[in-house]
Amino acid sequence: MDKIGKRFERKVAIVTASTQGIGFGIAERLGLEGASVVISSRRQKNVDAAVEKLKARGIEAFGLVCHVSNTQQRKNLIEQTLQKYGKIDVIVSNAAANPSVDTILETKELVLDKLWEINVKASILLLQEAGPHLKKGSSVVLISSITAYQPPAALAMYGVTKTALLGLTKALAAEMAPNTRVNCVAPGFVPTHFAAFLTTDESMKRGLEEKTLLNRLGTTEDMAAAAAYLASDDASYITGETLVVAGGMPSRLHHVQNSLATILCRKGTGKLLHGTQSIRAPIHQNSLQIRTLKAACRFGSVDAAEVADLLPPREIINLNSRLFKSVEFYTSIHELLN
């Protein structure tokens, strides 16, 4: 952190749900870059402890209790910030809940309401409150998730609320332009309290690491750096965008290579393919991949139909720097699977 800049000097930043984890990391980063930061969460003792930690690092910090779905506390957050600092330059809306691991069709109505309320509605209501005070050059960052792109079974409805934030980012960017930019960060998996059920079990953690190209989980500092960039004037020509910070985890629904690689990894063949890297080359040009796929099919670890279904026919796909026709890809996959 020694070499960070000072992009937020004389700026005032509100970060919600910021007494630990990613929110705290973002507040700390903005503060170290010169911002006066307003942090909050549901519990006074957590707020006090976090303010102390920030102050110990020389950061100008102010904290209050704000449960994001409490109308009065949201109002108070904005009013107190204005009273203390006179303006708001940056708002990072970071709070989320994931109260259940049920499938979507089994999720109780009460839980559906809570997910919508905390993960989506609270951000909207907070911005309704703050909107009139945001001046030219201000910036909003929403915190979504990698699960927004392909909600996994155990995080299905949570993932869908995070998908909603991608749309909310686009819609609000249009509504709040040109004075306020609205962007979004989609973190990959970060070992915080929130993700502890996934990241404390060693084999689950390893599985998540293997889904990345960089072979590691994210850190709160990784997320903070991305949020700080989007909130800063360095990103002054960027609005309505989501920055995926997930170590190369698949983040587009129709990214053929990554989808294939995910399946292969899930089926336990990832190691043969050296992680997700080698699948990115055109398959018909790489005999190791062909042999691996054939072996995987022979041993029943890849279902031919499952692979074939993922391939969008008759489209040209841009594969990083290489271009090749998916029709050819489709045909060669069929050849080698049949």
Ligand X SMILES: NC(=O)c1ccc[n+]([C@@H]2O[C@H](COP(=O)([O-])OP(=O)(O)OC[C@H]3O[C@@H](n4cnc5c(N)ncnc54)[C@H](OP(=O)(O)O)[C@@H]3O)[C@@H](O)[C@H]2O)c1
Give the footprint of ligand X on this chain (CB under 6 A). 16-23, 41-43, 46, 66-69, 94-96, 118, 143, 145, 187, 189-190, 192-195
- Pick 48 or 306: Cβ nearer ligand X: 48
Amino acid at 177: A
In 3D space, the residue among 14, 24, 35 whose CA is nearest the CA of residue 233 turns out to be 35
Distance of CA 285 to the CA centre of its chain: 34
Read off the tokens for 102.
């049920």
CA-to-CA distance for 130 and 92, rounded, in angstroms?
12
- Pick 66 or 279: Cβ nearer ligand X: 66
Residue nearest to ligand X (CB): 21
By the 8 A CB rule, do 36 and 67 touch? no
CA-to-CA distance for 146 and 188, rounded, in angstroms?
5
Min dist CB 62 to ligand X, Å, is: 15
CA-to-CA distance for 272 and 283, rounded, in angstroms?
14
Strand ranges of the sheet holding 88-93, from the earlier edge strand across to the other edge: 61-65, 36-41, 12-15, 88-93, 134-143, 180-187, 242-245
Min dist CB 69 to ligand X, Å, is: 6
Residue 101, Cβ neighbours under 10 Å: how many? 14
- Pick 21 or 275: Cβ nearer ligand X: 21
- Pick 78 or 260: Cβ nearer ligand X: 78
**Range list of β-strands (E), the chain:** 12-15, 36-41, 61-65, 88-93, 134-143, 180-187, 242-245, 316-319, 322-325
With tokens 């720097």, the residue in question is 321
Min dist CB 198 to ligand X, Å, is: 7
Min dist CB 100 to ligand X, Å, is: 14
Min dist CB 288 to ligand X, Å, is: 33
Selected catalytic residue, list 158, 229, 237, 330: 158
- Pick 24 or 85: Cβ nearer ligand X: 24
CA-derived radius of gyration, the chain: 22
Is 158 catalytic? The answer is: yes
Q: At what angle do helices 122-130 and 156-176 cross, to 10 degrees?
A: 20
- Pick 245 or 261: Cβ nearer ligand X: 245
In 3D space, the residue among 163, 175, 168, 182 whose CA is nearest the CA of residue 238 turns out to be 182
User: Which active-site residues does the annotation give?
Assistant: 158
